[in-house]
């Protein structure tokens, strides 16, 4: 699969200000300064602990993120310690839920900046598989109006008010340092034919044809899920439904990246609406496997 390719009828649009590279040997000071800023983390968390009278510093840097306007009327951004693939960004955006499954972000914790009915003053949460921890229960610096989600400045006390790091030769520090300005991701109707005519769409339709003879065998052969994960049953049943029951399927959004592809599928519903699915795939030993799938009924408008 080609790296970092995005085509869709609902292609994921990441509005961003991208710098242009210099062709000459010397880079102007302004451009060099801008490039330096671009490499700075979006957020840094720090916490001081004391063990046997020794200061322990826990620090994490978050280098990538995705901002969304949420279905419940709120807004937020998820920040990750490693770059997010285009596949993950489409899956998150199509669901409209920044914390739908923390395992999608990998083994390391992620940060969630959120403002909604539950957190009207904003909050910083740490997401881990099956665990959500509130790092800061108020984030006045979070700005959710306009085209970008913005959060800049220092928040809280890395010692949580109970540890004075200067006693151990260190300096006081904020609990979270933020430098976030992220455009809101959205699904925009662009190039429907390209998404539906892609190699990924052809792969899906070929599997549907094979599944007509033995759906379960095709499902088992194309899945790669962790049976111990609570979401594996949902993925298996959704994928079985798509291959065994869905007829007229259109790929309405597609994002590909290194060794992965995410598709948003639609098929006509029974009462004027439609069924939608988000299917995440990964190349494993040079074979495309489904690692997550979810279906949902959408009401007619």
**What does the DSSP assignment read for 133-146?**
EEEES--TTEE-SS
> What is the number of alpha carbons within 13 Å of residue 223 lying toward its C-beta?
22
- Three-state DSSP at 195 gives helix
- Three-state DSSP at 236 gives helix
Nearest by Cα to 68 from 84, 46, 50: 84
C-alpha span between 8 and 200 (Å, rounded): 12
- Cα torsion angle, 170, 172, 174, 175, sign: positive
Residue-by-residue pLDDT tens, the chain, 301 positions:
434 434 433 434 333 333 333 323 333 444 434 434 456 899 999 999 999 999 999 999 999 999 999 888 899 999 999 999 999 999 988 888 887 655 566 667 899 999 999 999 999 999 887 788 999 999 999 999 999 999 999 999 999 989 999 999 999 999 999 999 999 998 776 567 888 999 999 999 999 999 999 999 999 999 998 877 777 899 999 999 999 999 899 999 999 999 999 999 999 987 778 999 999 999 999 999 999 999 998 865 4
5, with CB counted inside 10 A (0-12, 13-18, 19+), is middle
Token pair, residue 172, equals 């006081």
Are the beta carbons of 195 and 251 closer than 8 angstroms? yes
């Amino acid at each position: 699969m080609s790296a970092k390719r995005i085509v869709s009828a609902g292609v994921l649009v990441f509005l961003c200000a991208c710098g242009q590279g210099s062709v000459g040997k010397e880079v102007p000071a302004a451009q060099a300064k801008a490039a330096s800023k671009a490499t700075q983390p979006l957020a840094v968390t720090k916490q001081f602990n004391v063990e046997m009278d020794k200061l322990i510093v826990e620090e994490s840097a978050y280098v990538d993120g995705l901002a969304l306007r949420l279905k419940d009327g709120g807004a937020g951004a998820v920040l990750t310690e490693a770059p997010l693939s285009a596949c993950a960004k489409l899956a998150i955006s199509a669901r409209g839920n920044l914390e739908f499954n923390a395992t999608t972000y990998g083994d390391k914790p992620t940060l969630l900046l959120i403002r909604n009915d539950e957190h009207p003053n904003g909050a910083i949460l740490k997401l881990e598989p099956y665990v959500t921890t509130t790092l800061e229960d108020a984030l006045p610096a979070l700005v959710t109006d306009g085209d970008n989600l913005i959060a800049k400045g220092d928040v809280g006390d890395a010692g949580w008010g109970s540890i004075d790091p200067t006693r151990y030769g260190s300096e006081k520090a904020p609990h979270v340092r933020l430098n976030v300005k992220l455009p809101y991701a959205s699904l925009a109707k662009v190039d429907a034919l390209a998404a539906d005519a892609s190699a990924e769409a052809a792969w899906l339709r070929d599997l549907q044809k094979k599944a007509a003879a033995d759906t379960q065998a095709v499902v088992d052969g194309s899945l790669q899920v962790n049976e111990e994960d609570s979401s594996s049953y949902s993925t298996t049943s959704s994928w079985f439904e798509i291959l065994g029951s869905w007829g007229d399927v259109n790929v309405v959004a597609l994002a590909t990246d290194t060794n992965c592809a995410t598709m948003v599928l639609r098929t006509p519903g029974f009462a004027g609406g439609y069924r939608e699915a988000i299917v995440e795939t990964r190349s494993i030993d040079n074979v495309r496997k489904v690692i997550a799938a979810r279906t949902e009924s959408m009401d007619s408008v």
